[in-house]
Amino acid sequence: MGRAIIGGLVRRGHSPLQLSVLDPSIEAVAALQRDFGIQAATNSARAIAHADIIVFAVKPQQMRTVAIELASALPQPRPLVMSIAAGITTASLSTWLGHGLPIVRAMPNTPALIGRGAAGLYATPDVSAAGRALAEDLLRAVGSVVWVESESLLDAVTALSGSGPAYFFLFLEYLERAAIRLGLPGDAARQLAVDTATGAAELARTSTLELAELRRQVTSKGGTTEQALNVLMNGEFEQLVQTAIDAAARRAAELSAEFGGC
């Protein structure tokens, strides 16, 4: 995800010389330098010495160690901190990094890799309007942005858009298999499934109609679509989706408890 954000910023015209990366993997750093021309820092102090914003793009289980290591190197005036680690609360980050820091928690998703991500953001009261604008500009480099006013809602964001691409990949996988069983060649089944999903998503994105109305417009009475939808609805598809989203949201909360302890 860090690579996606760096690539998006460079594509939008930000100078690579304004971007610095610190990563324990020498190979990862070398690849980022080669592909984007950014700076590589050799230690924490150099990485954040003149930073306006510090992005923690690390796994939840690594966040405590990394944050505590960087805390003593934070420059003055205090930079904006952004975390994209699932489940790590701003309270935990404040404890590890120092209280009073402006912190934004963000939950982007993997389509950011192609500039079509969807991110939910939450800002602590210490974040200024300029800080919110900076965080939003950074993530708009790789997709769309939605702010939430309660940090607890980020668990729902994680369950919906953070994990969401996998739900659609699974559905596309099942559509492809079903079409192959009906006799379509594999490449044709994949193309039709993917292009149908892409077209439907784009139509939903650009239309002012409710999603339910868009569905009704495709569903002729007594037709093929109605038959298929009846199977999904009678099979309690909505409840299955709700149960899945609930499970993902619970896991996001569990990550907070598991890795966010002080």
Report if residue 262 sits inside a domain. Answer: no
30/92 same-domain check: yes
| Tally: H helices and E strands in the chain | 12, 7
207/145 same-domain check: no
135/114 same-domain check: yes
Q: Domain boundary at 127, 156, 185, which?
A: 156
Q: Which of 58, 9, 56, 1 minimizes the C-alpha distance to 37?
A: 9
State the Cα–Cα distance between residues 103 and 84, nearest whole angstrom: 11
Report if residue 189 sits inside a domain. Answer: yes
139/170 same-domain check: no
Q: Domain boundary at 156, 176, 202, which?
A: 156
Instruction: Assign residue 21 the CATH number of its domain.
Output: 3.40.50.720
- Strand ranges for the chain from DSSP E: 20-21, 39-40, 53-56, 80-83, 103-107, 117-123, 143-147
Instruction: Assign residue 184 the CATH number of its domain.
Output: 1.10.3730.10
State the Cα–Cα distance between residues 86 and 122, nearest whole angstrom: 12
Question: Rounded to two decimals, what is the model's pTM?
Answer: 0.87
Domain count, the chain: 2
Report if residue 57 sits inside a domain. Answer: yes
* Tens digits of pLDDT across the chain (262 residues): 888 888 888 888 889 988 988 888 888 889 999 999 988 887 878 888 888 999 999 888 889 998 998 888 888 888 999 999 888 899 999 999 988 899 999 999 999 988 899 999 999 999 999 999 999 999 999 999 999 999 999 999 999 999 999 999 999 999 999 999 999 999 999 999 999 999 999 999 999 999 999 999 999 999 999 999 999 999 999 999 999 999 999 998 888 788 765 5
Report if residue 121 sits inside a domain. Answer: yes
Domain that holds residue 198: 164-256
Report if residue 261 sits inside a domain. Answer: no
Report if residue 99 sits inside a domain. Answer: yes
What angle is formed at CA 238 by the lines to CA 237 and CA 243, rounded to 5 degrees?
Answer: 95
Question: Are the CB atoms for 9 and 141 separated by under 8 Å?
Answer: yes
